[in-house]
């Protein structure tokens, strides 16, 4: 992406000319490109369904992918997609107008999953798990209808860390959201190109670009969630020791199965020493001093 404002994609129209913003943009683009290459996401000639919720993360994802494509570094077709799930108060015109004004190919899909979630989830329980499953199923369907090989999501580094700790604290397992995944049916990839990008950078980028942010609390189910509790813990650690999040994230990329306790990942029973076996004769055994 060139910094010449006479040759710039409409997604970047009005971008701040400050050195600080240019450094931020380049950092996000670099981290995104690294993740795409590191996890082997590019299949030349393929088509990606880029999921756009209207939050800061998905706006950042869309802009960065278009910048990489503009530079010739992402040889895939991009189709932006918003799934309107029927939440009361959802501003249905914001994203279509935003995408049309910037010449971004897109599909807007309406599916009232909100009513299903309200009907199925008992009062007092959070909606996120069922809502997410219904949303994911619809996105897979849309990807197939549009001939896409991958569904692309805007989860960032902090989402991945929070999911790891949620699994650790509440699920009893070491797992998180991988940058690249094959769906259960085996016919689609799921990519998270912002895996290395900090949430704070997404926030600064989207706000600097003045993108029309749609809040993620329209369903009223966010208060008191386990994810929010984990986020508060991580915020506290980061405040006491700046850079802690990045250190923990690097740990997820540096797993050592032999230093964990899962016998399905490492064959502890096959471990042998290189010492010579002692004679079975008791008299041959060395005497203790």
For 182, residues 6+ apart whose C-beta sits below 8 A from its C-beta are: 188, 189, 190
- Whether 128 has a binding-site annotation, put simply, is yes
- Whether 202 has a binding-site annotation, put simply, is no
- Whether 148 has a binding-site annotation, put simply, is no
| Helix H or strand E segment including 249 | helix 244-252
151: which strand partners? 49, 190
How far apart are alpha carbons 24 and 225 in whole angstroms?
30
Q: Which is nearest to 110 in space by CA: 140, 86, 79?
A: 86
By the 10 Å C-beta count (0-12 exposed, 13-18 middle, 19+ buried), 181 is classed as middle
For 37, residues 6+ apart whose C-beta sits below 8 A from its C-beta are: none
SS3 122: coil
CA 92 to chain CA mean position, Å: 24
How far apart are alpha carbons 195 and 231 in whole angstroms?
17
Annotated binding site for [4Fe-4S] cluster, which residues? Answer: 128, 131, 219
Annotated binding site, which residues? Answer: 128, 131, 219
């Amino acid at each position: 992406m060139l910094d010449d404002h006479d040759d710039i994609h409409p997604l970047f129209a009005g971008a701040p000319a400050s050195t600080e913003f240019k450094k931020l943009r380049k950092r996000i683009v670099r981290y995104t490109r690294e993740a795409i290459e590191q996890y082997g996401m590019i299949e030349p000639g393929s088509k990606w369904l880029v999921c756009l919720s209207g939050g800061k993360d998905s706006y950042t994802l869309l802009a960065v992918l278009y910048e990489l494509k503009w530079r010739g570094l992402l040889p895939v077709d991009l189709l932006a997609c918003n799934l309107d799930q029927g939440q009361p108060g959802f501003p249905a015109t914001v994203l279509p107008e935003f995408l049309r004004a910037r010449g971004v190919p897109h599909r807007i899909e309406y599916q009232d999953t909100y009513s299903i979630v309200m009907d199925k989830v008992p009062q007092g329980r959070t909606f996120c798990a069922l809502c997410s499953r219904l949303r994911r199923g619809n996105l897979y369907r849309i990807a197939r209808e549009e001939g896409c090989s991958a569904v692309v999501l805007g989860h960032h580094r902090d989402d991945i860390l929070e999911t790891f700790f949620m699994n650790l604290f509440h699920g009893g397992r070491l797992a998180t959201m991988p940058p690249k995944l094959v769906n259960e049916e085996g016919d689609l990839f799921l990519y998270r190109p912002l895996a290395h990008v900090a949430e704070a950078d997404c926030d600064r980028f989207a706000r600097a670009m003045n993108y029309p942010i749609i809040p993620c609390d329209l369903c009223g189910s966010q208060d008191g969630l386990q994810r929010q509790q984990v986020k508060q813990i991580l915020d506290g650690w980061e405040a006491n020791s700046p850079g802690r999040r990045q250190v923990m994230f690097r740990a997820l990329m540096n797993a050592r199965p032999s230093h964990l306790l899962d016998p399905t990942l490492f064959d502890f029973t096959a471990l042998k020493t290189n010492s010579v076996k002692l004679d079975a004769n008791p008299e041959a055994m060395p005497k203790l001093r």
